[in-house]
Amino acid sequence: MKLIFLLGLLPLAVLAMSTADRKLPAVRYDNFRIYKVYIENHLQLVEFQKIEKHTQLHILNEIAGTGRSYDVIVGPLLHRVWERTLDFLSIAYKVIVDDLQKLLDESTVDKDTESAMEWESYHSLEVIYDWLDQECAAHDYLECKVIGKSYEGRNIKSIKLSKREGNKAILLEGNIHAMEWISSATVTYILNQLINSKDPEIQRLSEEYDWIVVPMVNPDGFVYTHEVERLWRKNRRPNGHTNVTGDCYGIDMNRNFDYHWGGAGWNIDDPCDHWFGGETPNTEVEILALQDFVSSFADGYIRSYMAFHAYGQYVLLPYGHSNTEFPPNYDQMMRIAAAFAEGAVEPYGSPFTYGASGLLNYVVSGAAKDWAYGVKNIPFTCTVELRDKGTFGFFLPSNQITEVGVEVTAGLVALVNKAADEGIFS
């Protein structure tokens, strides 16, 4: 089809997939649009998959079936031909971002003016790590560790808050996907509340539970999103494969955990795609460091594992690898997730949907929450997909960081209290 041939000229994925030299100028998206397309039936899905397979479009979501919408980035020279293609296929669409670069500029970190940690702006890895170190130095109930090194040699840091002997622990994990900046921003917001808030309920939670936080699982990818390619998702290890654009880099580390690894997921076996899960499980040093760290604690100590991602406003429970198989305590987990949703909606009216990720979102294998539940026997695990529901998607403006932190903290308080009622911490 001539239209699809023309779409193949789009250069975006060439930049997104194979850019390896961090000295190159940052990739820009001036006048690039984000289209939300609605796939209603199987015929449209087949044609949409053909477009994805044979062109250089950047589709931001895994293609998971019909009755769903997908966000697609299209360059300025191809707006008309892309719209003609969708019209030809009777696929409904709307433009949700007219100039992606303008949106990105609104939340770009200015290293010349950046100094102290706060939650009105996105920050560099250096500022985030400096803040962790400062808080550890200031409070004797905090313990900072380097739990491992990334492929490029950056520290993977953890911080443990423990004010009382004999507590059970809750682990919060952030930024396993590089482009999801709101993840580490939210995790550090929660940690700051636990340390510095005067709210008596939050301080009670900081007394009665230990909190283990790994705010940056993917430091290499995160730095890459700041310096070269804002849309990068994976880590930065060369994966040994090439395509027409050159060497392919990275593994989607939330597809690399050794629990039902490789069984399901869109393009998890394509080494040059955003969702490549690796040749085998547990190939990435960052994942091994995280797993070793979790395993270093006594069995039964960590009672909840929460991974923070963007976007969609979900609380996703095990399992991801199936939409027909559910955990033995699924009903209990649903009650706890419902408490989070009820708490989180209160501050600003943000609704969260909850349920098994394979049922609600899409079937995918090798995720952290499933490994934590299925291998480490942690009785409540989940992935929290943060704001929003598709207006800004992965590029949430920084002026919403504090609101996200407020609503998620409210949800977390309700979740922990409900989990305690359910005996999770017994």
Domain 125-223+280-421: CATH architecture, name and number where available: 3-Layer(aba) Sandwich (3.40)
Q: Is the dihedral of CA 110, 111, 112, 113 positive or negative?
A: positive
Question: What is the rounded (10 degree) CA torsion for 129, 135, 137, 140?
Answer: -140
pLDDT 10s per residue in the chain (426 long)? 434 434 443 444 333 344 444 344 489 999 999 999 999 999 999 999 888 877 777 889 888 889 999 999 999 999 999 999 999 999 999 999 999 999 999 887 766 666 789 999 999 999 999 999 999 999 999 999 999 999 999 999 999 999 999 999 999 999 999 999 999 999 999 999 999 999 999 999 999 999 999 999 999 999 999 999 999 999 999 998 888 878 999 999 999 999 999 887 777 888 888 888 999 999 999 999 999 999 999 999 999 999 999 999 999 999 999 999 999 999 999 999 999 999 999 999 999 999 999 998 778 899 999 999 999 999 999 999 999 998 999 999 999 999 999 999 999 999 999 999 999 999
What is the spatial distance between Cα 93 and Cα 225, in angstroms, rounded to a whole number? 28
CB within 8 A of 397, min separation 6: which ones?
A: 103, 106, 107
Structural domain spans, the chain: 2-105, 125-223+280-421
**Token pair for 288:** 């091994």
Grouping H, G, I as helix, E, B as strand and the rest as coil, residue 160 is strand
Contact by Cβ (8 Å): 359, 345: no
Q: Which of 385, 403, 407, 422 is catalytic?
A: 385
Contact by Cβ (8 Å): 157, 145: yes
Q: Is the dihedral of CA 404, 108, 59, 83 positive or negative?
A: positive
Residue type, 419: A
Question: What residue spans of 296-392 are helical by DSSP H?
Answer: 330-348, 357-360, 368-374
Residue type, 70: Y
Tell me phi and psi for residue 405, to 5 degrees: -60, -40
Q: Is the dihedral of CA 55, 392, 18, 46 positive or negative?
A: negative
What is the spatial distance between Cα 307 and Cα 345, in angstroms, rounded to a whole number? 19
Q: Is 385 a catalytic residue?
A: yes
Which residues on neighbouring strands pair with residue 383, listed in sequence order?
307, 316
Name the superfamily (CATH) of residues 2-105.
Metallocarboxypeptidase-like (3.30.70.340)
Contact by Cβ (8 Å): 367, 323: no
CA–CA distance from 262 to each of 162, 273, 312, 363 (Å)?
Answer: 37, 15, 24, 11
What is the spatial distance between Cα 167 and Cα 163, in angstroms, rounded to a whole number? 9
CB within 8 A of 113, min separation 6: which ones?
A: none
